[in-house]
Amino acid sequence: MSNSDQVIIFDTTLRDGEQSPGISLDQGEKLEIAEQLARLGVDVIEAGFPVASQGDFEAVQAIARSVRGPVICGLSRTALADIDRCWEAIQDAERARIHTFIATSEIHMRNKLRMTPEQVKQEAARAVAHARSYTDDVEFSPEDASRSDFDFMCEVLQVAVDNGATTLNIPDTVGYGIPEEYAARLRAVREKVSGDYVISTHCHDDLGLAVANSLAGVHAGARQVECTINGIGERAGNAAMEEVVMALRTRPDYFGGVDTRIRAEELARTSRLVSRLTGYPVQYNKAVVGRNAFAHESGIHQDGVLKERTTYEIIDPSAVGAGGSQIVLGKHSGRHAFADTLKKMGYDLHGDALNQAFTRFKELADRKVQLTDADLEALVAEEIGDTVRYAFQLVSVDCHGGTNTTPTATVVLDHGGEKLEATAHGDGMVEAACTAIKQATGISGRLTDYSVTSVTGGVDALADVALRFEVDGVAMPGRGLSTDVVEASARAFLNAINRIVRVRDTGDDRTAVDRPGSLRGV
């Protein structure tokens, strides 16, 4: 890759990213992130702001002394003492850069710096020259470039280049820029400021345009992008490195084939590390590294991805270290995805068995946002233990109870197209539901065993009820599954009754758990 084809990735996770409210990394944590950034293949690590605190100085110094590969950069204001402190921190690096800055917008010069434009120019010239006395790799930034008077900003940039700056960073400090406008500004800088330098972007996300502005800058000729892992940074954050890198890699047709040296397969791992150490969670729908970035729940999308991944994925999940495509089973999922997931779990269902399980799955998915493998295993165990059509199907169960109310249950069953309804009372709602089922079916007996377990965690966990119902000395197993314990119990109870009816009607007693007596007369 020639220099004109390479976009330098300048990572400022440890400097601008750490300035996010609530983030305070210790030396060991900053070093751990820096080592991972080196494995990721970033070109420049902005390790911190050495003059900000003794802790920051020591962390930058530790990174400079131990991390090899990337250029190690320290940020400094234009005060000469700040630049001295910055050099002291980074001087042991394999390759070192000093990044110095001063604001050039009228609002900053007047209200923050309280300096005249001429004073700002003199300060920039002096600072860059002083930094250049330490290293030949000096970067200069006119802070709040997007709101600066363009001609004045270019005067300052020219002074910086004349005094030895090798990189000119055009920061959209407050996220004010619009992509077309920002790109035009960078092109104009190249035309107006003479010399040999690299143009860099540094964009904030206050309007949600940090990545768009950065990419517009690259398209306009910028060959360095300043960014952070997961887009963390002050206020709304910075341009997200993973998005910039994968946009360039996915759309070489638009960006003219420029690329980075980033090892994209390390992106997901780096994202997780930064999230864990900073305590900043990654939003589920975050591009490239979010939990849902390669997850599909819509039945149409699932069908397409199962047939050909690229129908709905423009990035191969494995290319960024995210494993493979994820088929998430929920209420929007289709039969193809459901069958494929079961097959991967070892259940190869077809015909009526698949239809029966899929119907039950849809019923459960309407109540539970996402069904796990454990949920599906329980569902399959309940629904396909018998492939014959049951005599009684549960249509509904309606229960009422409370501290001062006698538990009451009304059940509606389907029996060959005929609706059977019964209402009963009990000591609890489970007993009331089971009694109502006995009344509706006309089958009496006694419950010998009853247990309920949670299939998965959470308030929407599936309740898995297992029981035995004894009629005329024969105990039949029953199993039911639902997010509601009473419904799960009713399903389990009806499951046992259906087995009894099946044995009575066919003479097949293979499903009996115990058979001490005869079923005649049931």
CA–CA separation, 249 and 309 (whole Å): 18
Cβ-based neighbour number of residue 428 at 10 Å: 14
Could you tell me if 248 and 6 are in contact, meaning their C-beta atoms sit under 8 angstroms apart? no
CA distances from 204 to 37, 199, 350 (A): 21, 17, 53
> Residues 6 or more apart from 355 whose CB is under 8 A from it?
none
> Residues 6 or more apart from 149 whose CB is under 8 A from it?
104, 105, 106
- DSSP state for residue 15 in the 8-state scheme: I
CATH class of 3-278: alpha beta
- DSSP state for residue 448 in the 8-state scheme: E
Mind listing the pLDDT tens digit of every residue in the chain (522 residues)? 556 789 999 999 999 999 999 898 999 999 999 999 999 999 999 999 999 999 999 999 999 999 999 999 999 999 999 999 999 999 999 999 999 999 999 999 999 999 999 999 999 999 999 999 999 999 999 999 999 999 999 999 999 999 999 999 999 999 999 999 999 999 999 999 999 999 999 999 999 999 999 999 999 999 999 999 999 999 999 999 999 999 999 999 999 999 999 999 999 999 999 998 999 989 989 999 998 888 887 778 888 878 888 888 899 989 999 887 777 677 778 888 888 877 776 677 778 778 878 887 887 777 655 666 656 766 676 555 544 456 898 999 999 988 888 999 999 999 988 999 999 999 899 999 999 999 999 988 888 778 877 655 555 566 667 677 777 766 677 777 777 888 888 988 888 888 777 767 655 444 443 333 322 222
Return the beta strands (E) in 93-191 as ranges: 96-103, 138-143, 167-172
CA–CA separation, 326 and 313 (whole Å): 11
Helices and strands, counts by H and E, the chain: 17, 16
Could you tell me if 519 and 509 are in contact, meaning their C-beta atoms sit under 8 angstroms apart? yes
* Phi, psi torsion values for 215, nearest 5 degrees: -70, -35
CA–CA separation, 288 and 508 (whole Å): 56
What pLDDT is recorded for position 112? 95
Nearest to 51 by CA among 12, 15, 92, 103: 15
Could you tell me if 441 and 420 are in contact, meaning their C-beta atoms sit under 8 angstroms apart? yes
What pLDDT is recorded for position 152? 98
- DSSP state for residue 109 in the 8-state scheme: I
Nearest to 262 by CA among 72, 38, 97, 64: 38
Q: In terms of C-beta density within 10 A (0-12 exposed, 13-18 middle, 19 or more buried), how is residue 28 classed?
A: exposed
Domain boundaries, the chain: 3-278, 295-383, 393-506
Q: Report the SS3 class of residue 101.
A: strand
* Terminal Cα-to-Cα distance of the chain (whole angstroms): 83
CA–CA separation, 376 and 345 (whole Å): 9
Structure tokens at 395: 């249509």
Structure tokens at 86: 């910055």
What pLDDT is recorded for position 353? 75
**Owner of token pair 């004349």:** 162
Nearest to 426 by CA among 486, 492, 499: 486
What topology is assigned to 393-506 in CATH? Answer: Double Stranded RNA Binding Domain (3.30.160)
pTM over 0.75: no
What pLDDT is recorded for position 388? 42
